[in-house]
């Protein structure tokens, strides 16, 4: 069944540049969709599925919104930093932050996104982030079931894994080991971690990118590596397109991906993406959840989707074509209402 269209919402957003009131936009939404914010990007669920963390801009501060009350608070205002690029929520509710270098350059604010220092910000102490003494390239993976994390090293050739252990309240990394190594691969192969596969964390889901000297990322597929056997699995099987994995479902049977497979071949590799639900059974079967990029070509897309830990909601952002991960607005997708509407 085709996804329910969001035409009226995005006509408002396109023509009026978010100048319309929230109330007037909400009237045009299908019942399974609602607006959380008309600003912000890179949503991340907390451990309770009651709040969403997000960034106010690509290099900025972390905010939190309660999905019921819609109350918004700034999380990282209690300390000085050079800009937060990533925020992930650990099983215990503490935050894993990716923070840029201290030599912040306003003329090139994203220059540190591939070499972010990892910090823990404890939920009961938001003024004193603690460095883990490690650096990551782009975003990490965080287990829902343990204090295990995985991240890609600078250069995006290796993925490593470790456990976060607290001693007298101070976190540190232990049991560090390499789980994926493409050092000897072709020059333009890139990797990025995404999620441990629930419910038992026996597999790490990640993205395998490749391209050319001009753009090393314009092709991608969703992969998994079994952490016990070392076996690799390609879950998308669609080489001539972009298929980046995003949030995983708590039962481990599906993952959300950003894909341009709906685009004619001559228009692929331009990051005209939308959100799909991808089966993790090896079949490559997908279900498209939005059609922003085809209804508004060259302007908008849907991206950065994440699934709540109770499996009831998806949070995703209203994305722009101008940059990877860039967006303005966080939306809430009610999975139960969506399934009812399909019937």
For the whole prediction, is pTM greater than 0.85? yes
Please check the confidence at residue 292 and state whether its pLDDT lies above 60: yes
Domain count, the chain: 1
- Cite the DSSP H helix spans in 221-296: 292-295
In a domain, 232, yes or no: yes
Say which range, 54-63, 174-183, 285-294, has the weakest mean pLDDT.
Answer: 285-294
Q: How far is CA 301 from the centre of its chain?
A: 14
108-120 average pLDDT score: 87
Which residues, at least 6 apart from 10, have a Cβ–Cβ distance to it below 8 Å?
Answer: 292, 295, 296, 300
267-285 average pLDDT score: 87
Count CA atoms closer than 13 A to 49's CA, side-chain side.
13
Please give the order of strands across the beta sheet that includes 219-226. Answer: 190-196, 203-210, 219-226, 232-234
180-200 average pLDDT score: 82
Gap between the Cα atoms of 342 and 285, Å rounded: 18
The domain in which residue 124 lies consists of 7-342
pLDDT-derived band of residue 46, with 50, 70 and 90 as boundaries?
very high
Please check the confidence at residue 322 and state whether its pLDDT lies above 70: no
- % of the chain beyond a pLDDT of 70: 84
Gap between the Cα atoms of 161 and 170, Å rounded: 19
The answer to whether the CB of 332 falls within 8 A of the CB of 67 is yes
The answer to whether the CB of 54 falls within 8 A of the CB of 66 is no
Helical (H) or strand (E) element with 15: helix 7-16
In a domain, 25, yes or no: yes
In a domain, 1, yes or no: no
154-163 average pLDDT score: 94
Q: Within 10 Å of residue 282's Cβ, how many Cβ atoms?
A: 11
In the DSSP assignment, the letter for residue 153 is P
207-216 average pLDDT score: 80
The answer to whether the CB of 114 falls within 8 A of the CB of 86 is no
Please check the confidence at residue 3 and state whether its pLDDT lies above 50: no
In the DSSP assignment, the letter for residue 277 is E
Please check the confidence at residue 5 and state whether its pLDDT lies above 50: no
In a domain, 64, yes or no: yes
* DSSP secondary structure letters along 250-277: TTSSEEEEEE-TTS-GGGTTS---EEEE
In a domain, 2, yes or no: no
Helical (H) or strand (E) element with 130: strand 130-136
Assigned token pair, 223: 């992969």
Identify which of 336, 221, 234 has the alpha carbon closest to the alpha carbon of residue 276: 221
CATH number of the domain that 63 lies in? 2.120.10.30
Identify which of 341, 305, 302 has the alpha carbon closest to the alpha carbon of residue 320: 302
């Amino acid at each position: 069944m085709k996804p329910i269209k969001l035409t009226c919402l995005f006509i408002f957003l396109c023509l009026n540049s978010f100048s319309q009131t929230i109330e007037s936009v909400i009237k045009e939404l299908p019942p399974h969709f609602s607006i959380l914010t008309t600003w912000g990007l890179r949503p991340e669920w907390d451990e309770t599925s009651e709040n969403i963390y997000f960034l106010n801009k690509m290099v900025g501060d972390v905010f939190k919104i309660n999905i019921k009350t819609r109350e918004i608070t700034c999380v990282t205002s209690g300390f000085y930093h050079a800009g937060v690029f990533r925020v992930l929520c650990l099983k215990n509710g503490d935050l894993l932050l990716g923070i840029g270098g201290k030599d912040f350059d306003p003329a090139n604010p994203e220059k540190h996104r591939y070499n972010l220092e990892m910090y823990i910000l404890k939920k009961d102490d938001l003024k004193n982030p603690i460095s883990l003494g490690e650096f990551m390239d782009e975003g990490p993976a965080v287990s829902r079931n343990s204090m295990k994390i995985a991240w890609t090293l600078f250069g995006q050739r290796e993925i490593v894994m470790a456990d976060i252990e607290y001693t007298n309240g101070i976190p540190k990394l232990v049991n560090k080991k390499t789980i994926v190594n493409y050092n000897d691969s072709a020059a333009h192969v890139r990797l990025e971690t995404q999620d441990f596969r629930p419910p038992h964390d026996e597999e790490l889901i990640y993205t395998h990118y490749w391209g050319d000297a001009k753009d090393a990322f314009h092709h991608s597929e969703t992969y998994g590596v079994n952490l016990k056997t070392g076996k690799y699995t390609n879950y998308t099987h669609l080489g001539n397109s972009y298929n980046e994995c995003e949030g995983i479902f708590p039962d481990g049977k599906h993952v959300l991906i950003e894909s341009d497979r709906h685009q004619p071949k001559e228009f692929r590799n331009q990051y005209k993406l939308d959100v799909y639900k991808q089966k993790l059974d090896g079949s490559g079967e997908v279900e498209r959840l939005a059609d922003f990029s085809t209804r508004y070509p060259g302007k908008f897309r849907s991206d950065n989707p994440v699934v709540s830990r109770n499996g009831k909601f998806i949070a995703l952002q209203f994305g722009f074509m101008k940059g990877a991960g860039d967006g303005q607005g966080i939306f809430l997708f009610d999975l139960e209402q969506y399934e009812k509407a399909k019937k």
